[in-house]
Structures are given as structure tokens and as C-alpha cells.
Amino acid sequence: MSTAYAESPQHASSWTGIPNGKLGMWLFLASEIMFFTGLISAFIVLRMSNPNWPGPEGHLSVKMGTINTLVLICSSTTIVLALAASARGAMGAVRGWLAVTALLGSAFLVIKGFEYAAKLTHHIVPSTNVFWSCYYALTGFHALHVFGGIVFNLLVLSRTFSAAAWRDQGHRLELAGLYWHFVDIVWIFLFPMLYLFQ
């Protein structure tokens, strides 16, 4: 039987009328959008200027990329379910959905690790050619962001075990959700670029 905790308070609002935490997250995500936009733009320019793209060294597994895409889409659903459970005060469900979200994020990284291992076994490294340099840079930075999202979700999860901590910090679940959706959206762009339109 889940214990309903009181809704976490909205912390002091900024002069914009938006809670400081949410405003900070949106500004952070804006900087992250610029970061990935720069990487993706460089990828597109290099792709258009290289007639031998991606080269004879090998291709990516569309199957593994598709599985990873489905994993992240499912994780976006589970964090939405965690937010819905929080609104109902169903803390057991919040814990469960956050744990599933973290597990799905971890599964994404494990699959990506198998992909990396397969390429490295065949001596395909960032210096192999421009395509593989772009591949490792884009997916590597994205994987770091997924890892950061997992840590963030687990920190929020740890706050669900104390009513006092949840009242003070439960609003961070929404911030974790915003970040996680951003990570998923970035992959939605990377998947077709790298796997489908080589």
C-alpha cells in the first residue's frame, strides 16, 4: 500500500514568474540544444562534402539502433507515468516507474557498449575515418547525457523514501523528466542520421 506524500512546494519564483529550478533547467537545456546543434551541423557539412561516406570499413546495425530507440521511447513513457503517480501521491508507483526508467536507460548504455565493442574488435576507432569520428563523438556525448539522466533519476528516487525530503525536493521529478525527454529527443535525431541515412 503506497503512502501519499504532500505535494512538494514550488520554490521561490524568479522575476519571470517561472520557478527558479524550472527556469534553470530550461536555460541548461537551451545550452545543450546549441551544443548538439553544433555537432549535428558539423556532421551534415562533413557528410555532404565527403562522396565516400561512410567508407568501406563497415556499417552500423540498424537492428541494434532500432532496439535502442524503442528502449528510450519506452523510458520516456515510464517517466511520464512517474510524474502522473506523483500527482496522485502514489509514492510506491513513483519509485517503481523511476526505477524502470533508470533500468531502461542502463539497458540503452549496455546495448551501446556492445555496439562499441563490436566496432573496436574490428579495429574501427574514431581515427578510422570522418564518419566513425562523427559516430563516436555524437553517440559518446549522448551516452554521457544518458548516464547523467540515470544519476538524476536515481537521486530523485532516493528522495521518495522520506516524506520530508519529498516535500522539499519532490519538484525535481519534473526537472528530471524535462532532462530525460531532451535526451530521448536528441537520440530521435541521431538514430536516422547515423543508422538509416548513411
pLDDT in tens, 126-169: 988 899 999 999 999 999 999 999 999 999 999 998 888 888 88
- Share above pLDDT 70 across residues of the chain, in percent, rounded to a whole number: 90
Asked if 76 and 149 touch (Cβ cutoff 8 Å), the reply is no
**How many helices (H) and strands (E) in the chain?**
6, 0
Confidence band (pLDDT; 50, 70, 90) for 193? very high
In this predicted structure, the answer to whether residue 189 has a pLDDT above a threshold of 80 is yes
**43-69 residue pLDDT tens:** 999 999 888 888 777 788 899 999 999
pLDDT at 4 exceeding the cut of 80: no
- Residue ranges of domains in the chain, CATH in brackets: 20-196 (1.20.120.80)
| pLDDT on residue 5 | 55
Q: At what angle do helices 172-191 and 130-159 cross, to 10 degrees?
A: 160
**Mean of pLDDT values over 80-96:** 93
Residue 55: all three cell numbers together: 567508407
pLDDT value for 8 = 47
Rg (the chain; Cα; Å): 19
CA dist 95 → 8, 156, 183 (Å): 16, 9, 21
CB 112 within 8 A of CB 143: yes
Q: In the prediction, which pLDDT does 101 show?
A: 97
Cα 145-150-154 angle, rounded to 5 deg = 145
pLDDT of residue 7: 47
What's the angle, vertex CA 44, arms to CA 43 and CA 47, rounded to 5? 85
pTM of structure: 0.88
pLDDT in tens, 89-134: 899 999 999 999 999 999 999 999 999 999 999 899 998 889 999 9
Non-local (6+) Cβ contacts of 99 within 8 A are 157
